[in-house]
Amino acid sequence: MAGSFEIRDNFYLNGEPFQIISGAVHYFRILPSCWEDRLKKLVLLGANTVETYIPWNLHEPKRGQYRFDGLCDIERFLRTATELGLYIILRPSPYICAEWEFGGLPGWLLADEEIRLRVSGGPFLEAFAGWYDVLLPKLSHFQIDRGGHVILMQVENEYGYFANDPDYLKAMRELMRKHDITVPLFTSDGPFRENLNGGRLEGALPTGNFGSRTDERFETLKEYTDGGPLMCSEFWVGWFDHWGNGGHMHGNLEESVRDLDRMLALGHVNIYMFEGGTNFGFMNGSNYYDELTPDVTSYDYDAVLTEDGRITEKFRRYREVIGRYRSLPKYVEPVPAPRRAYGVVPVKEQVSLQATLGRLSTPVRGVQPMPMERLGQELGYILYRTTLDTEESVEKLRLWEAADRAVILLEEEPLLTLYDRELEKEAVIEPDALTDRQRAAFTGTPRKPGTGPELDILVENMGRVNFGPRMEHQRKGIGQCVQINGHMHCGWEMWTLPLDDIGAVDFSGAYTEKTPSFYRFVFSVYEPADTWLDFTGWGKGCAFVNGFNIGRFWEIGPQKRLYIPAPLLKKGDNEIILFETEGKAADHITLKEEPDLG
């Protein structure tokens, strides 16, 4: 039956005042078989609404190629929420931030070197309009005035932090109305006048994103709502971790409880995050202020539920607060999903990247290297290969317009590794830094073309920046040239390595220690349960469980174990493959029953 949702001095559901008590649940960070469990716990908390972003880049990984299955089955998620009686807030804007790769924008946008992001006119709007042509018809029938449970939809996200183009915001609004989006619209911005000035839009309720100082933030917001309701669209209850930050981030529970109480006394709230989940695959984002800070695989966020969906003390305290503002469902302590330690698993097979490269990629040849995006690649790694036919040695090396991390090998042996700002400088290679094999390769000049010492540069996209103007400078790989001994070096093979088919790795090939390599493990499971891959003794790379990319690992922490949800496992033999890039490997991994987020 069709209903109504209105914004006046308050929110009104079917003509009656309605207080939004919402929790953020990102369907794309949780396996679909776990969605119902997480949403039932949101109901148990006392919430009446669920909120989620919709990441454009996950749903349209290649231009014109769309995914709505598995983690991308947004309609299944919305049906599940509806069946549980939750109302729904959708945030389908092109940009989501969310500590997600490129803030949700597709990397293929950057193949156009002239593109400007999130402004009116030009190729960005054209590409986004094509996405909305596909997405919005899938969402419109879930709106409350069509008999569904969607009550609000976001036009843009934190736009006032990024720019102030009113024509762009109007174009976003008109695209939504063109596709029969009829529920009330809103924007969300930082709780400061500058942000709200740049991000406001006629016909959309302004809301704020913040985690503290509720009275002050709502007072500022009140200046922009024209007497309408006050809402915190992202009540930050924790924070995210980045590699090397020294330890897992925690919020202040007592302050958080007080802020939630004030929000509900004064207005409406969306708890960010109810459950954070996991940055599966290569989908973590990064920030860049003074240095590159890529986010870890876990998006635990010190949220109301743990990464694997367990009840926390924060859940219990928040439920007490919510109970002051609405009647709560009867509390029955949820039975936690079982955890299990499957123990030590030895390496079964191993092969160097060099030996299986031809099974994973086909090279593109060019005079100068090209970035990933011009080669039709968005995520993962890319290998640049050349021969040093005219060099007498390698004394200086510089990668121009390179990002984010480069492992460089000469004659299949490690030469050096460059990361972040090290890529902007010329590296000086001392003669004694070369191995005997590397030095010997330079004897016997002059050489015929293609017979010189072989140089490999393996570059990793560690997650595109998801916030601020640097987003327009996120091409990965090598964008301009490689300078060797003071001159540009020409003649390259470029091997794209998105690793989207890990089954193509051929473990029958040769293995060379201390080089980028694949490692295979097999372990038996009698009853699948949640477990954690402890990567102690391993350097840096990514992990695949029965073909599914569970994310990145890096010895610098703070995260020390990767979450393996039970639905990824099966009774009988299970396979784990690690791709390790630094040449640092142990002879085993360990599967443990507890997380270690640092």
Decide if 101 contacts 464 (C-beta within 8 A). Answer: yes
430 CB contacts (<8 Å, ≥6 apart)?
none
DSSP single-letter state for residue 22: E
Per DSSP bridges, beta strands 292-294 and 286-288 are: antiparallel
Tally the residues of the chain.
598
CA distance linking residue 344 with residue 588, whole number of Å: 7
Decide if 148 contacts 179 (C-beta within 8 A). Answer: no
What residues are paired with 397 via a beta bridge? 427, 484
CA distance linking residue 211 with residue 301, whole number of Å: 13
Phi, then psi, of 269 in degrees rounded to 5: -145, 145
CA distance linking residue 373 with residue 209, whole number of Å: 32
Q: CA dist 308 to 80, 272, 298, 340, 576, Å?
A: 19, 16, 10, 13, 20
3-state secondary structure 88-119: EEEECCCCCCCCEHHHHCCHHHHHCCCCCCCC
Task: Please list the active-site residues.
Answer: 158, 234
3-state secondary structure 488-538: ECCCEEEEEECCCCHHHCCCCCCCCCCCCEEEEEEEEECCCCEEEEECCCC
Taking the alpha carbons of 77, 564, 304, 331 in that order, is the dihedral positive or negative?
Answer: positive
